[in-house]
Amino acid sequence: MSDTMPLSRFRVIDMTQARAGPTAVRLMADWGADVILIEPPLDTGKNRAGLTGTRHEFDFQNLHRNKRSITLNLKTEEGKEVFFKLVKDADVLIENYRSTVKHKLGVDYETVRKVNPRLVYASISGFGQSGPYNNRHGVDQIAQGMGGLMSVTGEPGSGPMRVGVPISDLCAGMFLAHGVLMALLDREVTGEGQWVHTSLLESMINMMDLHAARWLVKGEVSKSAGNNHPTGIPMGLFKAKDAHIVVAGSGNLYPRFCKAVGLEEFIDHPDYDTVDKRSNNRDALNEIIQNKFNEFTLAELTEILIEAGVPCGPVNTLDQVFDNPQVKHLKMSRTQEHPTLGDLDLVGSAINLSNAPKPDTFKRHTPEAGEHTAEILGELGYSTDAIEELQGKKVI
């Protein structure tokens, strides 16, 4: 077992903001990559407040742990010089500028690869790097709408509904990180980097999965099914005496489910004895099940179903989630030791590696803007006097 984290040999330049880009960076930072976050100098008025909150709030702290920060004005020649020195020895650059912006700044892929052909340049956008929408602004809920997710979410007849997390942001970040790792593996063979890119829209459509395939293969447009599974019956949300429960008793589990809760007469009932019949009579079957569940507490029902081998689980609020014994065992909460905010419990990685166990604390706290500027410039060979000169010119 090694003490070295799996990605510790890679340096990542982080030029992202909002959520999708930082999500991709976080997946690398949490596993040891040396991440350098480039931010604008503090007096530009653009220092990190928006959809992810201010710097010391929970969201920003959770997104930007395990990295160093340098402030750098990329609109100055001196700032560009520092930037390209960073690029020269980097393995990965991740950005989420619109196409026109990165070309105007001169930090686009074609320009950057001339300095470092081995660099993996990774981009996230709202709608893609080319095409009629490539310079549009895009945010998570727009992608949820345009990608079809909102059309299949919510109760039937209630109209479109967004999901409760920024799913297109998070998925785009995960897809981009996956692409970066593929490009790094490819570089081991070719010796060259490449441009990796995805978008909120592409990620959302990919995550539509069975619904998208249903349209492409069968020409059928999925509709919202509320808390029912779109195809598995009975499967979905029910209520015990005291709390809600999600139960999956479909397919071959149906007879076992009926026996466990005392509904044996419905196993061979002519209205419910096949999958198709249960689908056609879903509402009536759900009502029968709900009436039966009214006899049990959540604890009683859970015990009965687990004993019978029928998957089930409660609907937890977040305080209940982190109080759950399995969640505690999985250590999904990790501590960040922050010099001014104190110890903060943040959300841990969902990945487990047998040869690289997750540490109990994060290696680095979420940095203040420019916290490591002098340190990073020193690594690039800048003297104290040169750093002070750059500061005086408002380059850093």
- Report the catalytic residues: 169
The amino acid at 202: E
Backbone φ/ψ region at 45: left (φ over 0), alpha (ψ -120 to 50), beta: left
Question: Dihedrals φ, ψ of 6, to 5°?
Answer: -60, -30
* Interacting residues of 244 by C-beta distance below 8 A, sequence separation 6+: 237, 238, 298, 314, 315
Nearest of 192, 197, 199 to residue 91 by alpha carbon? 192
Sign of CA dihedral 112, 114, 118, 120: positive
Q: Residue 234 and residue 61: Cα distance in Å, rounded?
A: 41
Question: Dihedrals φ, ψ of 190, to 5°?
Answer: -90, -25
Q: Residue 27 and residue 349: Cα distance in Å, rounded?
A: 8
CA 60 to chain centre: 14
Nearest of 390, 369, 365 to residue 45 by alpha carbon? 369
Give the count of alpha carbons within 13 A of 236, CB side only: 18
